[in-house]
Amino acid sequence: MQISTDLGVWIAAIATIGILSFAFKDNPLYRLVENVYVGVSAGHALVLGWINIRDQGIGPLIDDGDWSLLVPIALGILLYTRFFKKISWLSRFPLAMLVGIGTGLAIRGTIGSQIVNQIKSTILPLNSINNAIIIFGTLGVLIYFFFSREHTGPLKHVSTFGRCIMMVSFGAAFGSTVMGRMALLINRLHFLYANWLGIIR
Amino acid sequence: MRQELPMILAFIVGILMIVSFFFTSETLGEAARTVENWGVIVAAFALGLASINLIQIHAKKITRGKGLDWLYSGALLFSMIGMAVLGIAKGPTHPTYQFWFDALFVPGQATVYAMTGFFIASAAYRAFRIRNLDSAILLVSAAILMLANVPVGEKIWSQFPAMGEWLMNVPNLAGQRGMLIGAGIGGIASGIRVLLGIERTYLGGSGS
Amino acid sequence: MWEKLVNVDRRVIYGVVFLSLSIPLIWPIGFEVAVGPETKQLYDMVNNLPEGSAVIVSMDTSPGGYGELSSGAVALLNHLASRNIRVIGMGFFDTGPSLLETAFGASDFRDKEYGVDYVNLGYLAGGETAMARVARDIVGSFPRDYRGNEVSELPVMEGITSCQDIEMIISISSGTPGVPEWIRQVGDPLGIPIATVIVAVNVPNMTPYLQAGQIIGMIPSMKGAAGYESLMGTAGLGTRGMDAQSIAHLTILALVIIGNLVYLGTKDSKTSKGGAR
């Protein structure tokens, strides 16, 4: 086990240390690495965007003579009118199209996956405490967010139970977040110790 | 007309997506497929928008920035243009392209995300206080889960993994499901508002 | 004393976390790794896939999330390679396909034949819209793969036109589009099993889908990777990272407890001085 002689590993190690150094204090190396990686990221998006336009739009338009593709290509170009004040309103058309498709797809999928199937899976036999918690907990959370009627009487108790159940969920989310963030740090430290310095395997 | 026409477009394509899913019709299906394909192409064009913004901001910083701003912004633009030219000319699987992707982009972003590990530790020390019943429930469930998720938890008390599993699959499930159904209903309601043109902030205007 | 503890420099806390991760990484303790039921479920599902069948591996993450997912992704790819399952790779994050190349290179697929045993179809823009398109037509959605080959001519794509010809979809996921979108556009409407290698932050959100059977298995973060590695009888980064993960969790818990004691201490001292608010 010895220190790496790979140029890529060295650059990656300097980038890693550069970003980590921010924990100590803001410094020029951190800023440089941050800017370079943002630049690489934007460049990468451009490349992938171009490949999609080429393979999905320009390619079939020229090779197969599919002239209907001129419509999305024209709409795509209209997105860039937002940088010219006088004609910036034209960029609303492609945006409206993207929003329309996205909203339509989300609505049709949400009804089945997020509402019907979830309700179906909540209809459990009331033969155990766990099932009761799942049923009344789900109901309690829904009632907690139901603002059309004042939460008094039995409604208040159900919504308070829902609130407690949500607190458990937020606790679970916090616990899981800690696990995730530590895993990310482990990954970077492992890279430094194993791939770069070679002090561990 | 500058607002109404895009709204009508959003309505038509949105309704087409919904109707084509619930009704069997070759014509509707074909129309939906075409529109989806168009959506992919338009979305691909959108990927370049961020780059134009970055060029605008950082070109200004190079000419009018303070201190080392010219260096940072120059490095950003150089790396952006360099990657774009290399990727478009040689393809994203070219060894040189993959080299810079792995050497700069991957460690850069991965470390930025990893840094939040330090910040969450600091927040845990300074802000995670038991002030009332709600925060007590939150803290206890977080603590149980943190111990249940790692091998050392089982060493401390053999029941931690079982407790963690119960917490995740019973009360957390109920909480998440309530929020999922609620968000689903809310999402559909706001989706309908968008399609009907009641909500139009995405067009750059005000609400209804 | 309480004042000192309240105003402790944030860098001291960072240092404590750094040490709690570094020491067990350099001097491992060797804690035994447990396997979660959802991870075992996915392992069994892969074991029951017919040899030569095809699965989609969708890299729906950026490098930020990949740091957490790499060990699970590689363990799963190794399992798929050992079972001779064809892998149809793609991504709905623009960074997905390049990360997929990295994952293939780090797994046993590096010894398999590209285009025959596995393929990286690349990225399709549009998020959920793109997924809906792929559901109906895979080859039409990706006329050329990430390496520039004609997809229709690749042997790995034999008999595959839409997602209905796929045995399972595995989303290596850290955000949107990810698992819920796959469920909405492919899993539920077409009845294709969905599995995921997922970042820890999203694990609690996945439980309703798991219980409803909309997800058939899951590798949650590095902990799930360690479990999968133990099922495979190997020890990758997931297993090696569990010692550090254990100590880090204890450290965070200790910080929470100390933080609360300090809070109580300062509250009491303010009360005794008559300054409580």
The 10s digit of each residue's pLDDT in C1-21 is 777 887 899 999 999 999 999
C118 Cα to chain B: minimum distance (Å): 15
Are residues C180 and C267 located together in one domain of the fold?
A: no
- The tens digit of pLDDT for each residue in A123-134 reads 999 999 999 999
* Overall domain count for chain A: 1
Alpha-carbon torsion, ordered A75, A80, A84, A89, to 10 deg: 40
Distance CA C150, CA B112 (A): 37
- The tens digit of pLDDT for each residue in B166-198 reads 999 999 999 999 999 999 999 999 999 999 999
Among B71, B128, B175, whose Cβ lies nearest the Cβ of A169? B175
Indicate whether A147 pLDDT > 90: no
The pair phi, psi for residue A127, each rounded to 5°, is -115, 10
Are residues C148 and C88 located together in one domain of the fold?
A: yes
Q: Is residue C54 part of a domain?
A: yes
pLDDT given for residue C208 in this prediction: 98
Q: Which chains touch B (3 or more CB pairs under 8 A)?
A: A, C
Are residues C24 and C120 located together in one domain of the fold?
A: no
How large a percentage of chain A has pLDDT more than 90? 93
Nearest-by-CA chain A residue for B182? A142
Distance, CA of C123 to chain centre: 18
C14 touches chain A (CB under 8 A): yes
pLDDT given for residue C275 in this prediction: 45
Question: For the residues of C92-122, what is the DSSP string, one character each?
Answer: SSTTHHHHHHHHHHHSGGGGSPBTTTEEEEE
Are residues C183 and C226 located together in one domain of the fold?
A: yes
Break chain A down into helix, strand, coil percent, rounded to 5.
85, 0, 15
pLDDT given for residue C273 in this prediction: 62
Within 185-224 of C, beta carbons closer than 8 Å to A belong to 185, 187-189, 199-204, 208, 211-214, 220-223
B153 touches chain A (CB under 8 A): no
C263 touches chain A (CB under 8 A): no
The pair phi, psi for residue B12, each rounded to 5°, is -60, -50
pLDDT given for residue C274 in this prediction: 52
Residues of chain B positioned with their CB less than 8 A from the CB of C127: 43
- Per the listing, tokens 């940088």 go with A83
Q: Is residue C277 part of a domain?
A: no
Q: Is residue C219 part of a domain?
A: yes
Distance CA B99, CA A134 (A): 49
Residues of chain A positioned with their CB less than 8 A from the CB of C129: 98, 101-102, 105
Q: Is residue C257 part of a domain?
A: yes
- The tens digit of pLDDT for each residue in B12-50 reads 999 999 999 888 889 999 999 999 999 999 999 999 999
Q: Do B126 and C259 touch (CB under 8 A)?
A: yes
Residues of chain A positioned with their CB less than 8 A from the CB of B84: 43, 46-47
Name the residue with higher pLDDT: A145 or C268.
Answer: A145
pLDDT given for residue B73 in this prediction: 97
CB atoms inside a 10 Å sphere around CB C276 = 11
Are residues C90 and C204 located together in one domain of the fold?
A: yes
Q: Is residue A145 part of a domain?
A: yes
Q: pLDDT-derived band of residue A150, with 50, 70 and 90 as boundaries?
A: confident
Nearest-by-CA chain C residue for A48? C94
Return the amino acid letter for B105: F
B28 Cα to chain C: minimum distance (Å): 14
Indicate whether B205 pLDDT > 80: no
Helix (H, G, I), strand (E, B) or coil at C125: coil
Residues with Cβ within 8 Å of B8's Cβ and at least 6 positions away in sequence, in order, are none
Residues of chain A positioned with their CB less than 8 A from the CB of B57: none
Q: Do B129 and C260 touch (CB under 8 A)?
A: yes
Return the amino acid letter for B123: A
User: How confident is the prediction for chain A on average, in pLDDT?
Assistant: 95
Q: Is residue A75 part of a domain?
A: no
pLDDT given for residue C63 in this prediction: 96
Residues of chain A positioned with their CB less than 8 A from the CB of C189: 109, 112
Nearest-by-CA chain B residue for C136? B33
Residues with Cβ within 8 Å of C134's Cβ and at least 6 positions away in sequence, in order, are C90, C124, C141, C142, C163, C186
Residues of chain A positioned with their CB less than 8 A from the CB of C241: 183, 186-187, 190
- The tens digit of pLDDT for each residue in C96-147 reads 999 999 999 999 999 999 999 999 999 999 999 999 999 999 999 999 999 9
B154 Cα to chain A: minimum distance (Å): 16
pTM as predicted: 0.94
Q: Do C148 and B93 touch (CB under 8 A)?
A: yes
Q: Is residue A81 part of a domain?
A: no
Exposure on the CB side of residue A108, measured as CA atoms within 13 A? 23
Residues of chain B positioned with their CB less than 8 A from the CB of C99: 106
Q: What b/e sequence results for B148-172 when a residue is b if at least 16 CB atoms lie within 10 Å of its CB, and e otherwise?
A: bbbbbbbeeeeebbebbebbbbbbb
* Overall domain count for chain C: 2
Helix (H, G, I), strand (E, B) or coil at A153: coil
The pair phi, psi for residue C257, each rounded to 5°, is -65, -50
Q: Is-contact C128 C177, C-beta < 8 A?
A: yes
Alpha-carbon torsion, ordered C45, C46, C47, C48, to 10 deg: 50
Q: Do A193 and C204 touch (CB under 8 A)?
A: no
Which of C99, C252, C253 is best to mutate for the B interface (most B CBs within 10 A)?
C252
Q: How far is CA B170 from CA A172, C30, C34, C195, in A?
A: 11, 31, 20, 21
Q: Is residue A4 part of a domain?
A: no
pLDDT given for residue C277 in this prediction: 39
C104 Cα to chain B: minimum distance (Å): 13
Q: Is residue A49 part of a domain?
A: no
B165 touches chain A (CB under 8 A): no
Cis, bond preceding C177 (omega within 30 deg of 0): yes
Residues of chain C positioned with their CB less than 8 A from the CB of B152: 31, 246-247, 249-250
Q: Do C212 and A172 touch (CB under 8 A)?
A: no
Q: Do C249 and A182 touch (CB under 8 A)?
A: yes
Within 117-136 of B, beta carbons closer than 8 Å to A belong to 117-118, 120, 124, 128, 133-135
Name the residue with higher pLDDT: C2 or A5.
Answer: A5
Exposure on the CB side of residue B88, measured as CA atoms within 13 A? 15
Are residues C57 and C122 located together in one domain of the fold?
A: yes
Residues of chain C positioned with their CB less than 8 A from the CB of B102: 102
Are residues C152 and C105 located together in one domain of the fold?
A: yes
Judged on CB neighbours under 10 Å (0-12, 13-18, 19+), A181 is buried
Q: Do C256 and B98 touch (CB under 8 A)?
A: no
Largest CA distance in chain B: 69
Give mean pLDDT, residues A123-147. Answer: 95
CB atoms inside a 10 Å sphere around CB B66 = 7
Which of A186, A191, A197 is best to mutate for the C interface (most C CBs within 10 A)?
A186
Residues (pLDDT < 50) of chain C are 275-277
- Per the listing, tokens 């895009």 go with B6
A-C CB pairs within 8 A amount to 150
B101 Cα to chain C: minimum distance (Å): 8
The residue segments making up the domain with residue C22 are 2-29+241-272
Whichever domain contains C91, its CATH number is 3.40.50
Q: Is-contact A165 A159, C-beta < 8 A?
A: no
Are residues C250 and C197 located together in one domain of the fold?
A: no
Residues with Cβ within 8 Å of C210's Cβ and at least 6 positions away in sequence, in order, are C38, C218
The residue segments making up the domain with residue A178 are 124-195
Are residues C104 and C23 located together in one domain of the fold?
A: no
Q: Do A15 and B111 touch (CB under 8 A)?
A: yes
Q: Is residue C78 part of a domain?
A: yes
- The tens digit of pLDDT for each residue in A74-117 reads 999 999 999 999 999 999 999 999 999 999 999 999 999 999 99
Alpha-carbon torsion, ordered A144, A145, A146, A152, to 10 deg: 30
Are residues C168 and C256 located together in one domain of the fold?
A: no
Inter-axis angle of helices B4-22 and B171-195, nearest 10: 130
Indicate whether B208 pLDDT > 60: no
User: How confident is the prediction for chain B on average, in pLDDT?
Assistant: 93
Inter-axis angle of helices B106-126 and C10-26, nearest 10: 120
Are residues C20 and C43 located together in one domain of the fold?
A: no
Are residues C165 and C260 located together in one domain of the fold?
A: no
pLDDT given for residue C268 in this prediction: 76
Q: Do C223 and B46 touch (CB under 8 A)?
A: no
Q: What b/e sequence results for A137-174 when a residue is b if at least 16 CB atoms lie within 10 Å of its CB, and e otherwise?
A: bbbbbbbbbeeeeeeeeeeeebbebbbbbbbbbbbbbb
Distance CA A8, CA B100 (A): 8
Indicate whether B207 pLDDT > 70: no
Inter-axis angle of helices A154-190 and B171-195, nearest 10: 100
Question: For the residues of B149-181, what is the DSSP string, one character each?
Answer: TSHHHHHH-TTHHHHHHHHHHTHHHHHHHHHHH
Distance CA B73, CA B95 (A): 26
Nearest-by-CA chain C residue for A98? C126
Alpha-carbon torsion, ordered C182, C188, C192, C194, to 10 deg: 50
Residues of chain A positioned with their CB less than 8 A from the CB of B40: 52, 56
Distance CA A48, CA B45 (A): 10
Residues of chain B positioned with their CB less than 8 A from the CB of C263: 129
